[in-house]
Amino acid sequence: MHLILFIMFAGLCLAGALNLLLQKHPINSALSLVVVMTSLAVLYLLLGAEFLAAAQIIVYAGAIMVLFTFVIMLLNAGREERTRGSVSAVALGFPAVAAILAVIATVILKAQDLGSASLSDGITSTEELSRVLFHELLLPFEVTSVLILIAILGAVALARRGNGEEAGK
């Protein structure tokens, strides 16, 4: 059962990632990225990370990708125009994927004592996770709120129409 689920969603994930690369229009790439993230959420569940699966769907597939889609629509970014070298880039790109994958795979496969995963492994509960997060890692957690605040301020400052001197008008 685990195997079937893994093959299904891993295949979906890879197909989505490939589609992201091959699509010419950004909106298609964005939608394939949503596919990748959703299937990853299932894989997280398979590995027993239930909170992360939920967060993956809500934060990534929900919030971030919606943001992307908004921007794409806002800018009305059209198809990528073909330029000189883009064909050769694609021609070089996939061997490059193979090469990088080969290098990393060698490292991974060298590791002997990796275990295996099955459905019966149990799930890391959200309670367990939050206990660690709010006890041991409380300060980093709170610091992230500052980070997000700064990011909001920065995004507002950057995306505001016009520059600083025009804001006063």
Partner 1 sequence: MIPLSWYLLLSAALFALGIVGFLIRRNLITIFMSIELMLNGVNLSFVTFAHQWHLVKGQIFVFFVMVVAAAEAAVGLAIIISIFRARATLAVDRIDLMKL
Partner 2 sequence: MNGPLLFLPLIPLLPFAGFLLNGLFGSRLPKPLVTLIALLAPLGSLAIVVHDAYLYWSGALAVPAIEHSAPAWISAGTLHIDFGFVFDQLSLTMLLIITGVGFLIHIYSVGYMAHEEGYWRYFAYLNLFLFFMTVLVLAGNALLMFVGWEGVGLASYLLIGFYFKRTSAADAGKKAFVVNRIGDFGFLIGIFLLLANFGTLSFSEIATKLAANPGWQGGVLTCIALCLLLGATGKSAQLPLYVWLPDAMEGPTPVSALIHAATMVTAGVYMIARNHALFDRSPLALTVIAIVGTATALLAATIALVQTDIKRVLAYSTVSQLGYMFLGCGVAAYSAAVFHLMTHAFFKALLFLAAGSVIHGLGGEQDLRKMGGLRKKMPITFWTMTAAVFAIAGFFPFAGFFSKDAILYAAFLQGTNGKIFWAVGVFTALLTSFYMFRLWYLAFLGKPRSPELHPHESPWSMLGPLVILAALSVGGGWIGIEKFGGFLSPAVGPMPTKGGSSSLELTLSIAAVALAIVGWLIAHLLYFAKPEKPAQLAASVSGPYKLLLNKYWVDELYGAVIVKPILAVSRFLLEWLVEFAILGGLAWLLAGLAMLSGAILQKWQSGNLRSYAAWLAAGAAALLLFALVPWTSVLANFGIHLNLVHFYGAGR
Q: Taking the complex as a whole, how short is the minimal distance between the CB of residue 147 and partner 1, in angstroms?
A: 6
Please, which residue, 77 or 167, has the CB nearer to partner 1? 77
- Candidates 38, 51, 138, 142; binder of partner 1 (CB under 8 A) is 51
Q: Is 124 helix (H, G, I), strand (E, B) or coil?
A: strand
Chain positions 61 to 120 lying near partner 1, rule: CB under 8 A, are 63-64, 67-68, 71-72, 74-75, 77, 80-81, 83, 86, 89-90, 92-94, 96-97, 100-101, 104-105, 108-109, 111, 114-118
**Shortest distance, position 83 Cβ to partner 2, whole Å:** 11
* CB-based contact 41:61 (threshold 8 Å): yes
**Residue 115 or residue 164: which is nearer to partner 2 going by CB?**
115
Contact 70, 38 (CB under 8 A): no
Closest Cα partner for 79 from 36, 14, 29?
29
d(C-alpha 64, C-alpha 68), whole Å: 6
136 φ, ψ (degrees, to nearest 5): -75, -40
Q: How far is the CB of 71 from partner 1 (least distance, A)?
A: 5
Nearest to 26 by CA among 64, 75, 61: 75
**Closer to partner 2 at the Cβ: 74 or 103?**
103
CA distance linking residue 98 with residue 144, whole number of Å: 36
Residues 15 to 44: which contact partner 1 by CB under 8 A? 17-18, 20-21, 26, 29-30, 33, 36-37, 40, 43-44
For residues 53 and 37, give the distance between their C-alpha atoms in angstroms, rounded to a whole number.
10
Task: Find the binder of partner 1 among 158, 164, 166, 168 (CB under 8 A).
Answer: 158
Distance CA 32, CA 73 (A): 16
The residues in 51-110 that bind partner 2, with binding defined as CB under 8 A, are 99-100, 103-104, 106-107, 110
Which of partner 1, partner 2, none does residue 56 bind (CB under 5 to 8 Å by kind)? partner 1
